[in-house]
Amino acid sequence: MWKWGKLELGWGFAALIVLALLGGAGPALPPVLLAAACHELGHLSALWLAGARVEFHCDQTGSMMFRLGGVEPGAETKKIALTFDDGPHPRYTEELLDGLAERDVKATFFLLGQNIEGREEIIERMAREGHLIGNHTYYHVDITRLSQREACREILDTSEKITAITGQPVEYIRPPFGNWDKELECEVMMLPIFWSVDTLDWTTKNEDQIVQKVVTKIEENDIILMHDSYDSTVKAALRIVDLLQAEGYEFVTADELILE
Ligand code: NI
């Protein structure tokens, strides 16, 4: 990836570079020559400097522009995560997956155990296309209101069903209502993933409102809560992707944001 930066160092700096390139001290060069030299430098499009690829060019004011390439991919992008709870839905989840695939976007799906049967192909596709699959309990319960045994049953039964399809262990849980019992110890450790932007998509079912809410509030590293059970959510989510990709945001799976 490439990122533009600007060196506001003006002619003095350009002169230093030119002199350095000429191999030593010399009389200060007149501006016309410096401008020419700066443009010549611009034509030296790829330099290697401190391990990073740097390109220069000059703007009208004589300031030198540079851009860095060859840096670690994604190191300078603003990351955000779309998360979808309560699915999979027999129709809307597939529409969403189609739209995400077209845009090369990875999302996170927290599935309900009770919604898995008969929708195995959708879940297989999620895994195949690089989405993160998490647990949202079996019957959408508030696990803090259950006994330890019941709570673990809710979680383990759901994870088991997902793993039977994907072959991957389930490591993350979004506890329904955001209620998580930190002391809960089932047979496997689960990491809870909460959210920072609640779209309230399930109450409004209003595509425009969902889009507005997200694009006006979004900040780097936000985790957005949505539900892939509604046509309005699918349409809003894809519009959000288009708008925010254009602003330079990168959509990642939620584990990337909580582990940093
Ligand atoms: Ni839910």
CA angle 16, 21, 27 (to 5 degrees): 55
Q: In angstroms, what is the span from residue 156 Cα to ligand 1's centroid?
A: 17
57 is catalytic: no
131 is catalytic: no
Q: In angstroms, what is the span from residue 110 Cα to ligand 1's centroid?
A: 8
Q: What is the pLDDT of residues 80-98, one digit of tens each?
A: 999 999 999 999 999 999 9
Superfamily of segment(s) 78-258: Glycoside hydrolase/deacetylase (3.20.20.370)
Question: What are the sequence ranges of the domains in the chain?
Answer: 2-69, 78-258
> pTM here?
0.72
CB 234 within 8 Å of CB 208: no
Q: Which of 131, 222, 227, 228 is catalytic?
A: 227
Question: What pLDDT sits at residue 3?
Answer: 45
Question: What pLDDT sits at residue 43?
Answer: 44
Q: In angstroms, what is the span from residue 220 Cα to ligand 1's centroid?
A: 24
Least confident of 57-71, 73-87, 90-104, 233-247: 57-71
**What is the dihedral sign for C-alpha 8, 11, 17, 18?**
positive
User: Which among 143, 145, 119, 148 is positioned nearest to 133, based on CA atoms?
Assistant: 119
Token pair 């390109």: residue:
55
